[in-house]
């Protein structure tokens, strides 16, 4: 028998051909012939094309659609395999399944490729799509390809533009000036992630802060609703819900206004409004601080060059650099003072400070150093008093002191107010209520809620994105492009030889006439954030060819997505934007499902060993060779060091190419490996040994099915030979159904191993009685159907071999016979004082008295209880009996 050479490490990764003179066809399963054959069968039969059918329950399963970066990677293989198993399983269970695929096709990598390689973003993108589509098809996915689209298709983004216009009408959009990271060399806005050490990632130029008018979607209008609705998303991971909750960041506090006076004690016209969540500590206040961008600081800076210099300093520090530097608290005295609302003699100096954010609350705060880390740092630097006003219950108010570490006990009953006049003795929460009550009565403050969530800035100064459909007119201002003129199509004749957005440099594109006054005007040259594209694609899939963005009938039938699968890296942005978008689409009557994804699953990453050469360069796993217990380079033979097991990434070169794997092992093997052993939410390590193990299992199934196919056909019975096998067969059906319903693929697979392990010994029985043959055939057929969602090609081939004319894809999911799932004998563990001492096989649901009698006959029990007193006997029916004994 020729050996199949399976070594992708040597770089060939190709199976040797099967000699034709041997009868290997029956012995070896040949995925390279079988897989394309069944893929054509499914395609030709339009097996996975979905249609609305109101008489059947629907199931919409969706994996996060890929960015067409070039080639698929193992992370895609894992993601789409999981979705595919669900799609095939639900389909077999009788659901009308929608399982579409598309491309998140706008974005910067296409422009980078254009700049670096001189290719056009469009050509680059569609070429990648063609490659990746082919790769996905080689995986044998049960996808309705008739619904495919790319977000860079004008037929997609025209609806995005129309919807944006509707959003404007509905008051969901705002245009305002905001600060951005500006790269003066590339003349473009940079995302925070693209600013490294204060410099542009590509140009290396010092990044500036620049004020730019931009479009915002008013997601903050929905902050409370998005927060509240998280509770209802009980099929989402708690982790993701918590991340969104923290991101939205609701806080309840108090907004109130200090009276201000100048250095001479003269009251100023305006006051200083601050936001706080610790109004209980008002008697511990020792200063106020405002943001460098606060109107008060701006106004005073007009006559104070030093203050203006300080403001510039703070602005230059930017946002991203601070994290690295752990920027020191810095303040600049404004020489104005805030009058304490309850103590007329106390005057708090007001500073402009670098740690106060203009975007949160009122951009101003009062500092209570004794009970806040940041405030105490600031107070110690500028020699401000530290007045403790909260202390652990029972401590001495006169001697309780704080110097460098704040006391931050917030809630609960173990902290009390001290040194705070009418608040003394109250708990923190009681004091908050009292202070709020007094401020409201005095008319200087009120309870307010603040959110951390900011509005969503969607303008990007980029070419490869959806054009924002507005026109800027000198006399009419901002004029929406009339819907009849949509789509605003991206021009293709652009160049990337100049820095900045090619749309700005384009000779004609932006020059238009104003739709309102017919005078000369200019198009908006900004494009949308690509997160907009991915915020509604799931809805477009329900009616991808409709003349409107979403066909209401289709949307009503298919939405929401029943199962959404993707990486946890999208836990916040994409998933929060989509939730907002769903609401915005409801408001503008484009759809009516407020929550887009009923159930969410976040799968783990694919990780792999890393290899490093002597010169420090990373080495591809396919170039690493295990030789005499050490790793060497396959070509040069030089020794390699094995690094950590990390996420597959191009930079570490620890990638395995799906094409190579599918060519050498087959799609079914790759799919099987991705689902085996590791729970889907955890990171899975790709190993050669594991892949070979999965491959061997495909061969084992093939052998088993071949043998079963040759057995004489006879009925399985409820008695006699093969009953044990039948019980396992039916229990496997029940358990695997449950596992797949709960996405516990690794558990389902272990049960398939168990079933196949049980078939083996029965097959080697010589002169099988007819009822055993019947049980074996049933077990084999069940095995094939149960594994079909994971290994669809092998399943079809086996099913045919077993004599079926209807394909597995059109065969219903097997249903367990209750009588065979039920157990009639149970093994009961016998414990003495909670320790297992023996076990006993008994009929199910045995009477307690009889059970005890049988247990006391056991030698082990006699030995352990001899001369002791039985205090208590605990019986858990059909599971355990525990004898509690003592010496006395």
Footprint of RNA on 555-594 (CB under 7 A): 568-569, 571-572
Which range, of 105-113, 365-373, 655-663, 782-790, touches RNA by CB under 7 A?
365-373
Residue pair 311/358 in contact (Cβ under 8 Å)? The answer is no
Q: Which stretch binds RNA (CB under 7 A): 105-113, 226-234, 360-368, 590-598?
A: 360-368
Interface residue with RNA, options 273, 450, 811, 865 (CB under 7 A): 450
Three-class SS of residue 566? strand
Q: Which two tokens stand for residue 357?
A: 């954010």
The dihedral sign for the CA sequence 689, 695, 696, 697: positive
412 token code pair: 């609960």
Stretch of residues binding RNA (CB under 7 A), selected from 135-143, 461-469, 723-731, 877-885: 877-885
Nearer to RNA, 816 or 873 (CB): 873
Contact between 690 and RNA by CB under 7 A: the answer reads: yes
Between strands 251-262 and 287-291, the pairing is: unpaired
Phi then psi dihedrals of residue 523, to 5 deg: -70, 150
Size of the site for RNA (CB under 7 A): 90
Residue 467: DSSP 8-state? B
Give min distance, CB of 328 to RNA, in A: 8
Query: Which residue, 221 or 839, is less far from RNA as judged by CB?
Result: 839
Q: How far apart are CA 92 and CA 814, in angstroms?
A: 9
Q: Does 732 bind RNA (CB under 7 A)?
A: no
The interface with RNA within residues 260-319 (CB under 7 A) comprises 274-278, 291, 317, 319
User: 593 or 775: whose CB is closer to RNA?
Assistant: 775
- What contacts 753, CB < 8 A, 6 or more positions away? 697
Q: How many angstroms separate the CA atoms of 598 and 11, rounded?
A: 43
Packed helices 792-801 and 770-787: angle between N→C axes, nearest 10 degrees: 150
Q: Of 82-90, 263-271, 524-532, 692-700, which segment contacts RNA by CB under 7 A?
A: 692-700
Nearer to RNA, 165 or 684 (CB): 684
Among 9, 209, 298, 747, binds RNA (CB under 7 A): 747
Applying the rule CB under 7 A, the residues between 616 and 635 that interact with RNA are: none
First-last CA distance in the chain: 71
Residue 706: C-alpha distances to residues 29, 481, 803 (Å): 10, 66, 11
Positions 370 through 399 that interact with RNA (CB under 7 A)? 372-374
**From 554-562, 587-595, 714-722, 745-753, span contacting RNA (CB under 7 A):** 745-753
Binding test (CB under 7 A) with RNA, winner from 133, 137, 218, 452:
452
Q: Does 422 bind RNA (CB under 7 A)?
A: no
Q: Which of 55, 323, 398, 404 binds RNA (CB under 7 A)?
A: 323
Binding test (CB under 7 A) with RNA, winner from 643, 693, 769, 770: 693
Nearer to RNA, 547 or 689 (CB): 689
Pick from 71, 122, 700, 800 the residue near RNA by CB under 7 A.
700
Among 696, 815, 844, 848, indicate the residue that binds RNA (CB under 7 A).
696
Pairing of strands 630-633, 641-647: unpaired
- Spell out the alpha helix ranges (H) of 318-387: 320-325, 373-381
Is 365 among the residues that bind RNA (CB under 7 A)? yes
Q: Say whether residue 357 binds RNA (CB under 7 A).
A: yes
User: Is residue 16 part of the contact set for RNA (CB under 7 A)?
Assistant: no
Cβ 735 to RNA shortest distance, Å = 10
Angle ∠(117,121,127) on CA atoms, nearest 5: 90
Instruction: Determine the Cα angle at 750 with ends 745 and 751, to 5°.
Output: 100
Residue 409 lies near RNA (rule: CB under 7 A): no
Among 153, 677, 707, 852, binds RNA (CB under 7 A): 677
Task: Between 425 and 679, name the residue whose CB sits nearer to RNA.
Answer: 679
The residues in 753-792 that bind RNA, with binding defined as CB under 7 A, are: 753-754, 757, 760-761, 764
CB 684 → RNA: shortest distance, Å?
Answer: 7
Return the structure tokens found at 76: 């895609």
Q: Check if the beta carbon of residue 888 is closer than 8 Å to that of residue 869.
A: yes
Sign of CA dihedral 447, 451, 452, 454: negative
- Residue 775 C-beta: closest distance to RNA, Å: 17
Picking from 474, 471, 469, 475, the residue whose alpha carbon sits closest to that of residue 515 is: 471
Which CB, 243 or 711, lies closer to RNA?
A: 243
Closest CB to RNA among residues 22, 489: 22
What is the smallest separation between the CB atom of 524 and RNA, expressed in angstroms?
28
Residue among 357 and 715 whose Cβ is closer to RNA: 357
Which span (108-116, 333-341, 722-730, 823-831) binds RNA, by CB under 7 A? 823-831
Chain Cα centroid distance, residue 564: 10
Give me the least distance between CB of 577 and RNA, in Å please.
14
User: CB-hemisphere CA count at 13 Å for 184?
Assistant: 8
Taking the complex as a whole, the smallest distance from the CB of residue 331 to RNA amounts, in Å, to 11
Q: Is 242 in the site for RNA (CB under 7 A)?
A: yes
**Contact of 578 with 572, CB cutoff 8 Å:** no
Given 69, 273, 592, 882, the residue binding RNA (CB under 7 A):
882
To RNA, the closest distance from the beta carbon of 164 in angstroms equals 26
Residue 800 CA to residue 811 CA, distance in Å, equals 12
Q: Which of 364, 344, 367 is nearest to 265 (CA)?
A: 344
Of positions 180, 632, 684, 728, contacts RNA by CB under 7 A: 684
CB of 832 vs RNA, minimal distance in Å: 9
Phi, psi of 417 (to 5 degrees): -80, 140
With CB under 7 A as the contact rule, the residue among 84, 166, 362, 771 that binds RNA is 362
Q: Which one of 136-144, 174-182, 236-244, 434-442 is the stretch in contact with RNA (CB under 7 A)?
A: 236-244
Give the whole-angstrom CA distance, residue 456 versus residue 166: 17
- In the complex, minimum distance from the CB of residue 867 to RNA, in angstroms, rounded to a whole number: 16
Q: Is 361 in the site for RNA (CB under 7 A)?
A: yes
Q: Does 459 bind RNA (CB under 7 A)?
A: no
**Which whole-number Å values give the CA distances from 562 to 565, 570, 598, in the listed order?**
10, 18, 5
Return the structure tokens found at 840.
Answer: 């006993």
Stretch near RNA under the rule CB under 7 A, chosen from 51-59, 194-202, 505-513, 682-690:
682-690
Q: Which is nearer to RNA, 589 or 879 (CB)?
A: 879
Binding of RNA at residue 329 (CB under 7 A)?
A: yes
Spatial separation of the C-alpha atoms in residues 761 and 778, rounded to whole Å: 15
Interaction between residue 842 and RNA (CB under 7 A): no
Give 126 or 360: the residue with its C-beta nearer to RNA: 360
Which of positions 43-102 make contact with RNA (CB under 7 A)?
Answer: none
Residue from 356, 663, 725, 851 binding RNA (CB under 7 A): 356
Contact (Cβ atoms closer than 8 angstroms) between residue 233 and residue 241:
yes
Torsional sign, CA 566, 567, 571, 575: negative
Could you tell me the CA-to-CA distances from 119 to 4, 111, 341, 462 in Å, in that order?
Answer: 42, 9, 66, 16
Interface segment toward RNA; rule CB under 7 A; list 162-170, 386-394, 672-680, 710-718: 672-680
651 binds RNA, rule: CB under 7 A:
no
Using a 10 angstrom Cβ sphere, with 0-12 exposed, 13-18 middle and 19 or more buried, the burial of residue 827 is exposed
In 3D space, the residue among 165, 386, 420 whose CA is nearest the CA of residue 283 turns out to be 420
* The only residue of 3, 303, 383, 441 in contact with RNA, by rule CB under 7 A: 3
CA 356/CA 362 separation, integer angstroms: 10
From the number of C-beta atoms within 10 Å of its C-beta (0-12, 13-18, 19+), residue 131 rates as middle
* CA dihedral angle for residue 796, residue 799, residue 801, residue 805, rounded to 10 degrees: -100
């Amino acid at each position: 028998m020729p050996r199949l050479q399976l070594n992708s490490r040597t770089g060939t990764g190709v199976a040797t051909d099967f000699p034709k003179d041997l009868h290997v066809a029956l012995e070896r399963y040949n995925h390279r012939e079988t897989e394309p054959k069944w893929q054509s069968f499914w395609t030709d039969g339009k097996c996975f094309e979905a249609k609305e059918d109101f008489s059947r329950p629907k199931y919409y399963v969706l994996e996060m659609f890929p960015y067409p970066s070039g080639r698929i990677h193992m992370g895609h293989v894992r993601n789409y395999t999981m979705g595919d198993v669900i799609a095939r399983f639900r389909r077999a269970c009788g659901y009308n399944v929608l399982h579409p695929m598309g491309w998140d096709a706008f974005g910067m990598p296409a422009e980078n490729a254009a700049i670096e390689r001189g290719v056009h973003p469009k050509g680059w993108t569609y070429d990648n799509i063609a490659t990746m589509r082919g790769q996905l098809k080689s995986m044998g996915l049960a996808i309705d390809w008739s619904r495919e689209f790319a977000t860079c298709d004008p037929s997609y983004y025209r609806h995005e533009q129309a919807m944006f216009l509707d959003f404007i009408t509905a008051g969901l959009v705002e245009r305002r000036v905001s600060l951005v990271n500006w790269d003066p060399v590339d003349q473009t806005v940079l995302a925070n992630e693209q600013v490294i050490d204060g410099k542009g990632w590509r140009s290396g130029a010092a990044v500036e802060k620049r004020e730019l008018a931009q479009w915002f979607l008013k997601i903050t209008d929905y902050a409370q609703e998005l927060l509240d609705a998280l509770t209802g998303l009980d099929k989402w991971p708690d982790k993701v819900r918590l991340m969104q909750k923290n991101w939205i960041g609701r806080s309840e506090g108090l907004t109130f206004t200090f009276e201000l006076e100048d250095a001479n004690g003269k009251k100023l016209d305006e006051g200083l409004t601050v936001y706080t969540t610790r109004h209980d500590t008002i008697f511990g206040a020792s200063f106020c601080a405002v943001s460098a961008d606060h109107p008060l600081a701006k106004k005073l800076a007009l006559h104070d060059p030093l203050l203006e210099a300080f403001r510039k300093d703070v602005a230059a520090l930017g946002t991203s650099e601070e994290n690295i530097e752990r920027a020191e608290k810095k303040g600049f005295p404004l020489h104005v003072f805030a009058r304490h609302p309850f103590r007329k003699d106390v005057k708090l100096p007001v500073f402009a400070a670098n740690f106060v954010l203009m975007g949160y609350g009122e951009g101003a705060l009062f500092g209570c150093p004794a009970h806040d880390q940041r405030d105490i740092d600031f107070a110690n630097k500028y020699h401000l008093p530290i007045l403790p006003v909260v202390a652990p219950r029972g401590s001495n108010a006169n001697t309780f002191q704080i110097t460098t570490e704040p006391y931050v006990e917030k809630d609960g009953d173990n902290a009390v107010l001290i040194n705070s006049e009418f608040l003394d003795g109250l708990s923190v929460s009681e004091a908050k209520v009292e202070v709020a009550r007094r401020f409201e009565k005095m008319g200087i403050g009120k309870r307010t809620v603040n959110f951390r969530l900011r509005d969503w800035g969607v303008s990007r100064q980029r070419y490869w994105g959806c054009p924002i459909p507005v026109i800027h007119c000198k006399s009419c201002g901002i004029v929406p492009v009339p819907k009849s003129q949509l789509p605003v199509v991206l021009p293709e004749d652009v160049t990337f030889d100049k820095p900045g957005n090619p749309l700005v440099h384009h000779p004609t594109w932006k020059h238009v006439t104003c739709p309102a006054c017919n005078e000369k005007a200019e198009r908006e040259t900004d494009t949308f954030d690509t997160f907009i594209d991915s915020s509604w694609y799931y809805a477009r899939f329900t009616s991808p060819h409709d003349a409107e963005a979403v066909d209401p009938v289709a949307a009503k039938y298919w939405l929401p997505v029943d199962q959404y699968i993707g990486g946890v890296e999208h836990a916040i942005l994409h998933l929060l934007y989509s939730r907002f978008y769903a609401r915005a689409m409801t408001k503008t009557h484009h759809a009516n499902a407020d929550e887009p994804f009923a159930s969410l699953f976040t799968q783990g990453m694919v990780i792999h060993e890393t290899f490093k050469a002597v010169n420090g360069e990373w080495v591809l796993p396919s170039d690493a060779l295990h030789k005499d217990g050490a790793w060497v380079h396959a070509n040069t033979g030089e020794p390699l060091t094995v690094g950590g097991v990390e996420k597959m990434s191009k930079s570490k070169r620890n990638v395995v190419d799906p094409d190579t794997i599918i060519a050498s092992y087959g799609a079914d093997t790759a799919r099987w490996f991705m689902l085996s052993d590791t729970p889907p939410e955890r990171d899975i390590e790709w190993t050669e040994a594991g892949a070979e193990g999965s491959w061997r299992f495909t061969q084992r199934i093939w052998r088993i099915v071949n043998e079963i196919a040759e057995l004489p056909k006879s009925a399985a019975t409820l008695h006699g030979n093969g009953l044990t096998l039948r019980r396992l067969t039916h229990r496997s059906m029940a358990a695997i159904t449950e596992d797949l319903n709960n996405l516990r693929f690794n558990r389902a697979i272990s049960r398939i191993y168990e079933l196949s392990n049980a078939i083996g010994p029965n097959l080697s029985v010589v002169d099988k009685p007819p009822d055993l043959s019947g049980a074996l055939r049933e077990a084999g057929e069940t095995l094939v159907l149960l594994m079909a969602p994971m290994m669809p090609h092998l399943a079809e081939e086996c099913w045919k071999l077993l004599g079926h004319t209807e394909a597995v894809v059109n065969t219903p999911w097997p249903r367990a016979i209750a009588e065979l799932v039920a157990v009639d004998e149970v093994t009961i563990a016998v414990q003495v004082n909670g320790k297992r001492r023996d076990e006993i096989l008994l009929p199910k649901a045995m009477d307690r008295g009889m059970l005890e009698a049988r247990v006391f006959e056991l030698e082990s029990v006699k030995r352990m209880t001899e001369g002791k007193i039985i205090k208590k006997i605990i019986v858990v029916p059909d599971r355990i009996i525990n004898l509690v004994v003592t010496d006395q």
